[in-house]
């Protein structure tokens, strides 16, 4: 056998280097030879470290490859530190051992590449061994049909992918190429592993996307489990699915897919209501433990619908949800208010509007389950429909036999019209302060009013004919502006807070309206919490979808998905890109969203509705009862005793809200402003006259500072 040249050269190098390792450190300790050897050993140690740290195979070969350099450096250091050639010529023995090991093992040349041996100079031709034919897996002749035999032939030509064989091939009805093949592991008791869609598609010359692998269920007369597998090969069906998919297929591919608008969902059914011009897509989550995550824009693109907030809506109910696609904006319709709709039932519920699906939305005039009056919270910017909602709410309350007061910051046509059908109405901050102060005093009066059946005082019980007084509903429009009034703002805010806390048990409900439900705009946290818990807040357009959503979330315990109210409903016409290329203006087909509101129901769910329309240009007498409801004579007489019942449009009476200044206080009127507590009416915050006050607490100090600075 001829020795390869690289082996011979390596053996020669070991033989020549051994004497140098033994002699150089002893005769020439400072020779550069020693430094070169030690540097080579350091490189070998680095190679060891990298080989041990690497996750790739062959770490042992790499360590063995670097070992001659490391051992040579070790011998050089040993020879340098021993005295002379060491005891018993240790340096020479170590060098000779190193050379012998390298001569026999030859790590570098033999382990440089895996499974590699240098070829001999002249290879001797060897006779070819006799070819051993492997017997194919015997498959019994089971009388299979032509399709199964053809499929088996293609499968055997492909080398039996996944070590399986075809048990049966079944043609799909009405298809030329689509079929299902039943596979079984060629070895009994072995599961099918490593079989992919591509391995199945290759023998039949179809795309891997046209193959679906499925488990085989155990059936009577046939086994199942990991050793069996079904492969559905459907090139024809997939081609038809790409060109003309069914509703179920489109939903699965475009909406329920991981990248769709509602991943993990499946379509239950699609229905069409031609009368209302709406198509419903009812879907549910395939996994009952998951929550729907719906991107409405992606759903519209997947279903081929226009991405239009005014025509496409989503309603989520647990794991199910409903996509409603209207031909025209459903909330642009007008729903006229009628006395029949506004008449409350025995539980105090009346229809105040309709949702996008045509369902009636009900509001309450009292809380039947809590035996109490109800509060109200109406939010929205100007011209959003608040006053329209006032009209139907007041009409329902009047039809239920209740008393209504309405105060606004400024006079306008609609509120003046409503004043004809209710007990009292005024249009300035002073009137609002007086109405709230009188309502607060009514709590004390009603707390002492005896009931005729037993002569004792009781809390208000709605619907109880024995109750000696009627429910009072105090409306305060633009409450936010009034609460910031320089003269009467603090009285309005304080009495409003007190009324929301104590009014319900005495049959008095407070209904503020404004453009913000937050504390810095007059709605204290205490007021907002009481209003939210004892009403169904109605949020109209707040100026932008973001502001509307924020206002709605501010009235909800848990932030559910809040619907969007755009500034106008405008259906998309044509292509915006084509209009831009032609230089044409966008069509002006917007429809006002006035009257569209989000009502927060008792369970915290937000419902988008269109409130009923009360036409102020016609006679509203058809909505209100014939007779206006008023307070009882006893209540009015008690209010008169307290100096609170008179024409509230009068100028401020002396000492009504703050004490009149004494003669030595000067005539600047500074001590009159924001005094509070004086006069018969009460309702203020204590005297702030010109007399010197003794400061005994932080609150007294704050009041003194306000008095001095006229704050």
State the pLDDT at residue 119.
47
Q: CA-to-CA distance for 86 and 23, rounded, in angstroms?
A: 11
Q: Which two tokens stand for residue 703?
A: 């009041």
Q: How confident is the model at residue 5 (pLDDT cuts 50, 70, 90)?
A: confident
pLDDT of residue 115 exceeding 50, the answer is: no
Q: Apex CA 441: angle with CA 411 and CA 704, to 5°? A: 85
Range in 139-143, 238-242, 324-328, 633-637 the model is least confident about: 139-143
Q: CA-to-CA distance for 260 and 489, rounded, in angstroms?
A: 53
Mention every residue, 6+ apart, whose C-beta is less than 8 A from residue 395.
Answer: 337, 339, 342, 421, 614, 620, 623, 624
- Residue 353 DSSP SS3: strand
Average pLDDT over residues 390-407: 95
pLDDT of residue 135 exceeding 70, the answer is: no
Q: Which two tokens stand for residue 339?
A: 């006395």
- Residue 168 DSSP SS3: strand
- Residue 663 DSSP SS3: helix
Q: How confident is the model at residue 125 (pLDDT cuts 50, 70, 90)?
A: low
Q: What are phi and psi of 397, to 5 degrees?
A: -65, -40
Alpha helices in 400-544 (DSSP H): 413-418, 429-447, 479-483, 489-502, 525-533
Q: CA-to-CA distance for 611 and 596, rounded, in angstroms?
A: 6
pLDDT of residue 106 exceeding 60, the answer is: no
pLDDT, one tens digit per residue, over 504-513 is: 999 999 999 8
The 10 Å Cβ neighbour count of residue 137 is 12
Cβ(301)–Cβ(261) below 8 Å? yes
User: Which residue carries 């139907």 as its tokens?
Assistant: 392
Q: CA-to-CA distance for 569 and 313, rounded, in angstroms?
A: 13
Q: What are phi and psi of 595, to 5 degrees?
A: 95, -10
Query: What is the rounded (10 degree) CA torsion for 40, 45, 46, 49?
Result: 160
Cβ(678)–Cβ(657) below 8 Å? yes
Residue 428 DSSP one-character state: S
Q: Which two tokens stand for residue 571?
A: 């259906």
Cβ(600)–Cβ(552) below 8 Å? yes
pLDDT of residue 195 exceeding 70, the answer is: yes
Average pLDDT over residues 428-453: 94
Average pLDDT over residues 374-378: 92
Average pLDDT over residues 317-327: 90
Q: CA-to-CA distance for 132 and 74, rounded, in angstroms?
A: 54
Q: CA-to-CA distance for 589 and 569, rounded, in angstroms?
A: 8
State the pLDDT at residue 420.
92
Q: Which two tokens stand for residue 332?
A: 């642009």
Stated as kind and residue range, the H or E segment containing 579 is helix 576-582
- Can you list the positions of beta strands (E) in 57-198? 164-171, 179-185
- Residue 614 DSSP SS3: coil
The 10 Å Cβ neighbour count of residue 557 is 11
State the pLDDT at residue 703.
65
State the pLDDT at residue 701.
62
Range in 32-36, 182-186, 576-580 the model is least confident about: 32-36
Average pLDDT over residues 154-170: 90
pLDDT of residue 176 exceeding 60, the answer is: yes
The mean pLDDT value of the chain amounts to: 81
Range in 27-31, 494-498, 536-540 the model is least confident about: 27-31
Average pLDDT over residues 462-468: 91
pLDDT of residue 482 exceeding 70, the answer is: yes
Cβ(500)–Cβ(525) below 8 Å? no
State the pLDDT at residue 686.
38
pLDDT of residue 680 exceeding 70, the answer is: no
CA 571 distance to own-chain centroid: 26
Q: Give the residue with greater pLDDT, 703 vs 485.
A: 485
Q: CA-to-CA distance for 595 and 598, rounded, in angstroms?
A: 10
Above pLDDT 70, what percent of the chain? 82
Q: CA-to-CA distance for 337 and 614, rounded, in angstroms?
A: 6
Q: Which two tokens stand for residue 98?
A: 């190193």
Range in 214-223, 299-308, 539-548 the model is least confident about: 214-223
Verdict on whether the full-model pTM lies above 0.75? no
- Residue 381 DSSP SS3: coil
pLDDT, one tens digit per residue, over 220-258 is: 777 788 889 999 998 888 888 788 888 888 899 889 998
State the pLDDT at residue 647.
94
Q: CA-to-CA distance for 339 and 257, rounded, in angstroms?
A: 49
């Amino acid at each position: 056998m001829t020795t390869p040249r690289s082996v011979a050269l390596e053996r020669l190098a070991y033989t020549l280097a051994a004497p140098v390792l033994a002699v150089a450190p002893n005769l020439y300790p400072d020779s550069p030879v020693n430094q070169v050897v030690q540097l080579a050993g350091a490189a070998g140690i680095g190679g060891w470290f990298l080989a041990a740290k690497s996750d790739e195979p062959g770490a042992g070969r790499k360590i063995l490859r670097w070992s001659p350099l490391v051992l040579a450096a070790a011998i050089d250091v040993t020879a340098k530190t021993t005295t002379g050639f060491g005891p018993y010529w240790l340096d020479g023995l170590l060098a000779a051992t190193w050379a012998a090991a390298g001569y026999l093992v030859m790590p570098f040349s033999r382990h440089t590449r895996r499974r590699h041996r240098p070829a001999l100079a002249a290879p001797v031709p060897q006779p070819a061994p006799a070819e051993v034919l492997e017997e194919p897996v015997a498959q019994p002749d089971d009388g299979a049909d032509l399709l199964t035999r053809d499929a088996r032939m293609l499968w055997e030509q492909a080398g039996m992918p996944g070590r399986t064989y075809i048990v049966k091939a079944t043609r799909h009805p009405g298809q030329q190429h689509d079929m299902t093949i039943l596979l079984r592991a060629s070895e009994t008791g072995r599961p099918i592993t490593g079989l992919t869609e591509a391995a199945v598609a290759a023998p039949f010359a179809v795309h891997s996307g046209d193959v679906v692998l499925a488990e085989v269920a155990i059936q009577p007369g046939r086994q199942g489990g990991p050793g069996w597998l079904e492969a559905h090969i459907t090139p024809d069906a997939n081609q038809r699915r790409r060109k003309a998919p069914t509703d179920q297929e489109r939903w699965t591919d475009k909406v329920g897919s991981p990248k769709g608008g509602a991943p993990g969902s499946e379509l239950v059914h699609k229905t069409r209501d031609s009368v209302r011009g709406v198509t419903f897509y009812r879907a549910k989550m395939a996994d009952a433990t998951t929550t729907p995550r719906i991107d409405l824009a992606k759903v519209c693109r997947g279903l081929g619908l226009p991405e239009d907030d005014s025509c496409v809506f989503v309603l989520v109910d647990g794991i199910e949800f409903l996509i409603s696609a209207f031909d025209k904006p459903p909330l642009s319709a007008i729903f006229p208010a009628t006395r029949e709709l506004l008449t409350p039932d025995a539980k105090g519920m009346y229809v105040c509007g309709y949702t996008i699906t045509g369902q009636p939305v009900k509001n309450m005039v009292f809380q039947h389950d809590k035996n109490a009056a109800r509060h109200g919270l109406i939010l929205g910017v100007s011209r959003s429909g608040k006053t329209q909602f006032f009209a139907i709410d007041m009409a329902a309350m009047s039809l239920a036999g209740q008393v209504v007061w309405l105060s606004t910051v400024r006079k306008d046509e609609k509120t003046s019209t409503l004043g004809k059908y209710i007990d009292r109405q005024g249009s300035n901050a002073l009137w609002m302060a007086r109405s709230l102060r009188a309502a607060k005093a009514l709590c004390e009066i009603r707390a002492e009013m005896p009931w005729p059946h037993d002569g004792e005082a009781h809390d208000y019980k709605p619907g109880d004919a024995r109750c000696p007084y009627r429910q009072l509903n105090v409306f305060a429009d633009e409450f936010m502006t009034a609460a910031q009034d320089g003269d009467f703002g603090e009285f309005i805010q304080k009495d409003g807070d007190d009324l929301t806390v104590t009014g319900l048990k005495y049959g008095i409900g407070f209904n503020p309206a404004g453009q913000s439900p937050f504390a810095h705009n007059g709605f204290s946290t205490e007021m907002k919490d009481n209003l939210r818990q004892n009403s169904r807040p109605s949020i109209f357009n707040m100026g932008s979808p973001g502001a509307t959503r924020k206002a709605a979330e501010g009235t909800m315990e848990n932030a559910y998905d809040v619907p969007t109210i755009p500034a106008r409903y405008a259906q998309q016409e044509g292509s915006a890109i084509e209009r831009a290329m032609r230089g044409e203006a966008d069509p002006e087909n917007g429809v006002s969203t006035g009257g569209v509101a989000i009502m927060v129901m008792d369970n915290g769910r937000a419902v988008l509705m269109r409130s009923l329309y009360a036409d102020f240009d016609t006679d509203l007498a058809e909505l209100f009862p014939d007779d206006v409801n008023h307070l009882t004579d006893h209540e009015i007489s008690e209010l008169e005793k307290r100096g609170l019942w008179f024409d509230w449009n009068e100028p401020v009476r002396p000492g009504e809200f703050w004490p009149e200044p004494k003669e030595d206080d000067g005539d600047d009127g500074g001590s009159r402003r924001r005094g509070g507590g004086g006069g018969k009416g009460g309702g203020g915050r204590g005297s702030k006259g010109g007399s010197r006050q003794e400061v005994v607490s932080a609150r007294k100090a704050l009041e003194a500072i306000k008095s001095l600075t006229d704050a």
